[in-house]
């Protein structure tokens, strides 16, 4: 499955919303309920599903879904 589609599934699961359709330019303001608490859940879910580990610097510089996708792509 394509990376974006796999990430989309994780988003739907974490935010409990099947209608989410992620795009690279999407930010926390575009997803209902994407606050600091759900963000950490999202990160933990991504790390576990893709079996990767983000470092602090990466986690503090994600500006949008595109940054997240690029970082995942560089690790798998």
Partner 1 sequence: MAFNSLTYFLFLPLIWIVYQWAPDRLRWLLLLAASLGFYAMLKAPYLLVVLCLAAGVTFTVGLRLGSCSDETGRKRLLWVGVGANLLVLVSLKYLPALFFSFNPSLFIFNGFANFSPITFHALITIGISYYVFQAISYLADIYLEIIEPEPHFGHLFLSLAFFPKLLQGPIERSGDLLPQLKKPYVFDYDMARSGMLLFAWGLFKKVVVADRLALFVNTVYGDVHAYTGLPLILATYFYALQIYFDFSGYTDMALGSARLFNINLTRNFNAPYLATSVADFWRRWHISFSRWILDYIFKPLQMSWRGWGLAGTAVALLVTFLVSGIWHGASWGFVVWGGLHGIYLASSVYYKSWQKKIHKVLGIEKTRLLKVWQTILTFNLVSFAWIFFRANSLADALYVVRHLVEGIGRVRAMLFAHGTTELIVALLMLAVPLLVKTLAVTSKRLDMPFCLPIPLRWAVYCLLVISLSLFSVDSGRAFLYFQF
Residues in contact with partner 1 by the rule CB under 8 A: 36-37, 40, 43-44, 56-57, 59-61
Number of helices (H) and strands (E) in the chain: give both, helices first: 4, 0
Rounded Cα distance, 61 and 21, in Å: 22
CB closer to partner 1 out of 43 and 69: 43
CB closer to partner 1 out of 2 and 53: 53
CB closer to partner 1 out of 9 and 47: 47
Joined tokens for residue 74: 């560089």
Query: Smallest distance from the beta carbon of 2 to partner 1, in angstroms?
Result: 26
Joined tokens for residue 16: 């409990």
């Amino acid at each position: 499955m394509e990376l974006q589609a796999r990430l989309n599934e994780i988003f739907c699961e974490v935010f409990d919303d099947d209608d989410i359709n992620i795009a690279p330019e999407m930010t926390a303001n575009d997803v209902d309920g994407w606050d600091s608490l759900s963000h950490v859940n999202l990160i933990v879910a991504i790390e576990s599903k893709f079996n990767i580990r983000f470092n602090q610097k990466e986690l503090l510089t994600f500006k949008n879904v595109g940054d997240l996708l690029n970082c995942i792509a560089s690790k798998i």
